[in-house]
Structure 1
């Protein structure tokens, strides 16, 4: 460390400490006995200061070596409570880390050399302590105390165990000088992709991002929109979102939509809001398979759903899954209802003729293709074939009923199972809300309303219970969001309101956990073109294969990946996923040293020299990848490589969550979180039907339904602030 060397070697003994010891002794001698060095008192004091200064410099150099060797084995603890998470109006905080450069690749390469193993691998005492813990696990008292001592997690314990994060600490310990790493908010509109296998910190990173998004305000004091899709239902994530919304004063704009708990969930009509009527058919038929022979049935299903949706709009009814299922199963009723509506406006006397035609019908004069239809439907068809009335909706319904009923049922056979799944049980109340029911305290929301209110939305899709329903609902929500984004892009979020401006934009932070389970063809345009409307997607998944398996097309999977500008790579187990990061990095030159020794015999038998020997240290350069896929596979939990800001590689570790009691957590929401944990993570008593919090009255927390709230519900209304929380 005294001078710059061609090859940096930090894994070595801290020889600077010898110089420090000599400087300390010389300084003491200059102060205590300057006469022994032929110095007077004043000169001795000056010499002591000089020795002390030089010793301090060498001690600092020794500290760098010792700190480097310590970090290679064990990183210092990095914890942070949610209150301590920094929130900036310009940047998104990620954690501590450093910009990866050539020197870090060189240092990492050195750690794999055999002559440096004693500085990298655990000490002999550490290995002995772990072996004793295994053997003395069930030992009696005198020996069990020894196990408690070796497992004591304090810095004074020389053999304390490593934190349970696995991986190689050296991947981050090669840089002792960390800095706070953050991402400019302007880069988030390019979308971010987080890849990592299970239980390595994806949810912790999501909590870190969501916490900042909920608490962030722009210079005008306005909050941002936060929408979180959680397919499996993470109770801790739900709790964190509510706590942060409460701290930010946004609990009145906090919405919970959960398919697993319909009793306390908000309601949402996935096909109730649209820019064009054809979007309704696209959102429903888009869930059907389009591969092979299924493509034709998918197009037929799209056409009939579109016919039904157009008729409902003309009748003044808002489409939903229940109405569409009802009329797809029985198209005759909709045909008659719309015909009554149409003839009431255009030809009120037409029904007299239709009734006469209906009276003349019998089993012998009904056309073969109309067998099985109601006689009034047959009479309507005969009347319309005789008169020249043109109405596109009526003609569409007429073409549907002219199909043979058996053939029609076969055509829509692939559509009916999907509609049955979306309209069965209590889920139907969530996806097909009754807008006229004023006694239902569960609010109804749509994405434009959420964006205008700057709300926080948690969407739990309960994918562990029913994957297909979760995927269908999530896909419909994405499709609806794409439609809203197109409207915002053209007209702004305040379109139709007084003083609206087409330039109004607000950041819409969309966090999609396990997004491979939700994505479809609707997800691609959202990340491809949604940035113009302010949508900022952060997607979380395990591997690239998950995306490809979901879409079923490698080219489309590459299209999805290509739209993410920021990549956060945690520990993965698939080499192809790790290569998504490593293949985008350049190769770098690292120094390698080679010791060459040789001896040469003398050919002069009469000379005084029998042989000559030499030893050389040769320094050479070799080209290696900046990081290997194996380094990504060996990352500890809570650490990641980040490729952001134009391809810069950062090595980052996220802060571990510190103890932070959530005193603002309401009792009812805490009860829900407990049930979610039990439902999704524990299987010890799977045979017992625990039900939901609202079904077990004896387990309801006190004050869940207070007198004021009960009174409001009895009057047909509800207190807005408490009902907006969906947990009162």
Structure 2
């Protein structure tokens, strides 16, 4: 029976079909020949209806058994177009599934018992078809076509191949009644962590979440969507633009891409700040603070802060190029600021400084000032004689008083970071020229993005240069943390005319492969960013990736501890799977045991030679709700979701029906095509043929003509 009992057994023959057959035969007999049962036609009709009713009940029970056995081997196909994705103002759609309870653990344990093996494993015809398909691959022409027939993915094929998702379908097939699984939007401010190994559906789950975030309207306003994509997924970029256009937001869609700087938007990570010290924190915060490096990090912070304060006083917006220029040659900044200061306060000071400069020679220059410009030495001598108090001038003066060689050693750890951020065309993206009106590429900052309710795609090209990608990602995270702090204190519209304290809007931050981007600045974002409306959804492979990136187990635990919602796809690391399984309780499962025995009679004169007994016992065992092995065996596109204070859901995500990208502008189509063809996994680097369309341009025309003639001759010879 399909009804629940103390011991539920759904893996068995559908014996209810026998009752259905008998009821159908009896109903036909009552209708056709009621006289054979001593019934008149009216009573025969009533009896037939009674038989059909009982047969329908038994057929429903039989269908539950058959459906359970089918789902154990193969799940129904679940496909959804992006237009059909439900967008709610109250909940976030995740997929279809069920809440995992004790009965599901009991059903799953039964599938591993040997007596139920024939209901779980593929049928003999399926195994024979797969073996024959392998052999026919190398068969001659007429027989090789038969392999396509065997691989025909259709319900009419009795040996239909399983979908290429791997894993165990039984993990989801044990519950036939699926419902839409959703997450209340109020829970998202507690942040979400998505864990899963490579190519199991993390990016597709990100597309599902991002689609809803782009199209959702709360109180008549859209939400902010910021997506960090280190490796560069063309389908994700296409999905974001299509959804932004569908929602009427293509005017607020920004693409920042390090690998395609000619069409990328521009961004200054240190150009906007609430306190001037934030500039030094964002830059020096990326330097190592472990061991002896801590002292150099503090020195670097101090000198960057001195330079930033001087630039602001001079009316210049700080950027990486300016800071690098003045770190390498701080003398020029010292002279420029001194001119600015004395022009306002002591116009006649330069006459004395010029006289001091004229008296300088190699013999009377102090030892610590050797290598400095003479004007810098003259300025230092003048300031030592005249009492001038200006904090910025004093800071610059203390920097130039260091021995030149010693100063270079102190800032040596800072220069490699600045080189990463200012090399090649990347400098145009991270240090934009605000006065160049002929450059059509937009310039954005996070406060502007949040106020406009914009959609931002950040492609960091990590496969080409992981070091630069990490540096830029850290800079953006640090800037975003600073903006979140400002919003938390003053609100979004602070400083605007007629600004009033309004409700905070959700800021959805999706960080794919976030272990490649994160640093110490990521911890305050997930720890305190919720107060400013920041909702982080982070995607990575394992817990070890986080720990390896931060370099500290305690800090890695601090990061993971701030994610309230956990989506666990297939993982290969047991410690990562235990992050989910150790948070779940143990449950009691029931098992039946058949026991039989015989006892010989000790009375030689008795009529009984022996006695026998047979018992069917029910026992209970305490087992975990799910094991790490179950997480490792998940098919692609399926996950366990732990949300709302410990509710465990088993979810499968819809397969997205691809949309054509004709709606994308030409430059974004070129970028998407480049990403599809040029970006490969790190393990397949030997297959990379370079940027499509650029190989021919690197050769002269005469060599290209010779190459084409040789290729044509080879084809004719073949």
- Place the TM-score, normalised by the shorter chain, in its bin: over 0.9
Alignment RMSD: 1.4
Per the TM alignment, residue 685 of structure 1 is displaced from its structure 2 partner at its CA by: 6.5
* Offset at residue 668 of structure 1 (A): 2.9
User: For residues 462 and 4 of structure 1, what CA distance do their matches in structure 2 show?
Assistant: 54
The residue that corresponds to 1:330 in the other structure is: 329
Alignment of 1:286-301 (within 5 A): 286-301=285-300
Q: State the partner residue of 2:198.
A: 198
Render the CA deviation track for 1:595-618: whole Å, top value 9, x for unaligned.
111010111222221111111111
CA shift for structure 1 position 472: 1.1
For 2:385, the equivalent position in structure 1 comes to 386
SS of the residue aligned with 2:122? Answer: coil
What CA distance in whole angstroms lies between the structure 2 residues aligned with 1:459 and 1:150? 44
Tell me how far 1:286 sits from its aligned partner. 1.1
Q: Please name the residue that 2:529 is paired with.
A: 530
Q: Offset at 1:687? A: 5.4
CA contact (8 A) 2:661 2:669 kept: no
Kept in 2: contact 1:196–1:202 (CA 8 A): yes
CA distance in 2, matches of 1:671, 1:373: 50
Q: Which moved more, 1:595-604 or 1:318-327?
A: 595-604
Q: Is this contact kept in 2: 1:452–1:493, CA < 8 A?
A: yes
Q: Name the counterpart of 1:153.
A: 153
Partner residue, 2:53? 53
Distance 1:2 1:118, change over 3 A: closer
Equivalent positions of 1:629-648 (< 5 A) are 629-648=628-647
Give the deviation of 1:666 after TM superposition: 2.8
SS in 2 for 1:366: coil
Q: How does 1:541-690 map to 2 (within 5 A)?
A: 541-681=540-680, 686=688, 688=690, 690=692
1:540-592 per-residue CA deviation (whole Å, 9 max, x = no partner) reads 00000000000011110000001000000000000000000000000000001
Q: Give CA-to-partner distance per residue, 1:172-204, whole Å, 9 cap, x none.
A: 000000001010111100000000000000000
Contact map agreement 1:197 1:573 (CA 8 A) in 2: yes
1:209-252, Cα deviation, whole Å (9 max, x unpaired): 00000011113x21110000001111111011011111111111
Contact 1:675 1:692 in 2 (8 A): no
Contact 1:354 1:380 in 2 (8 A): yes
Corresponding residue pairs, total: 694
Please say if residues 494 and 504 of structure 1, whose CA atoms lie closer than 8 Å, have aligned partners that are also in contact: no
Q: Give the secondary structure class of the aligned counterpart of 1:126.
A: helix
What pairs up with 1:416-495 in 2 under 5 angstroms?
416-495=415-494
| In 1, Cα distance between equivalents of 2:57 and 2:73 | 25
Secondary structure at the residue paired with 1:495?
coil
- Structure 1 565/688 Cα, relative in aligned 2: closer, same or farther at 3 Å? closer
Shift of 1:18: 0.3
SS in structure 2 of the partner of residue 177 of structure 1: coil
For 2:352, the equivalent position in structure 1 comes to 353
Q: Residues 428 and 646 of structure 1: is their aligned pair in 2 closer, same or farther, counting only changes over 3 Å?
A: same
**Distance between the aligned counterparts of 1:6 and 1:430, measured in 2?**
66
**CA deviation after TM superposition for structure 1 residue 502, in Å:** 2.1
Cα distance in 2 for residues equivalent to 1:504 and 1:3: 51
- Alignment match, 1:105: 105
Query: Gaps spanning 5+ residues in structure 1: where?
Result: 697-728
Aligned-partner Cα distance in 2 for 1:359–1:607: 136
Correspondence 1:20-169 to 2 at 5 A: 20-169=20-169
Distance 1:671 1:30 in 2: 73
Tell me the secondary structure at the aligned position of residue 89 of structure 2. coil
Q: Offset of 1:266 from its aligned partner? A: 0.3
SS at match of 1:190: coil
2:493–2:500: 8 Å Cα contact kept in structure 1?
yes
> What residue in structure 2 maps to residue 721 of structure 1?
none
Q: How many Å separate the matches in 1 of 2:33 and 2:254? A: 78
* Contact kept? 2:2, 2:10, Cα under 8 Å: no
Render the CA deviation track for 1:92-117: whole Å, top value 9, x for unaligned.
00100000000000000000000000
Indicate how the Cα distance of structure 1 residues 170 and 63 shifts in structure 2: closer, same or farther if over 3 A, else same.
same
- The question of 1:319 aligning with 2:314 is answered no
Distance 1:367 1:495, change over 3 A: same
Check conservation: 2:2, 2:62, Cα contact below 8 A: no
Alignment partner, residue 7 of structure 2: 7
Q: How far apart in 2 are the matches of 1:104 and 1:148?
A: 37
| Residues 1:121 and 1:252: Cα distance change in structure 2 (over 3 Å) | same
Q: 1:428 to 1:24 in 2, by over 3 A?
A: same
Aligned twin of 2:235? 236
Residues 543, 574 of structure 1: 8 Å contact kept: yes
User: Take 2:489 and 2:641, find their aligned partners in 1: how far apart are those partners?
Assistant: 34
CA distance in 2, matches of 1:614, 1:190: 60
Q: Which residue of 2 aligns with 1:516?
A: 515
Q: Which deviates more, 668-677 or 247-256?
A: 668-677
Secondary structure of the 2:484 match is helix
Whole-angstrom CA distance in 1 between matches of 2:104 and 2:213: 33
Q: Which deviates the most, 490-499 or 544-553?
A: 490-499
Q: 1:3 to 1:361 in 2, by over 3 A?
A: closer
SS of 1:603's equivalent in the other structure is coil
Distance 1:691 1:512, change over 3 A: farther
Q: Secondary structure at the match of 2:496?
A: coil
User: SS of the residue aligned with 1:643?
Assistant: strand
| Contact 1:490/1:502 (<8 A) preserved | no
Cα distance, 1:661 vs. partner? 3.0
Say which SS state the counterpart of residue 217 (structure 2) adopts.
Answer: coil
Work out whether residues 19 and 58 of structure 1, in 8 Å CA contact, stay in contact via their aligned partners in 2: yes
d(CA) in 2 for partners of 1:500 and 1:99? 45
Alignment partner, residue 704 of structure 2 = none
Cross-structure match for 1:255 = 254
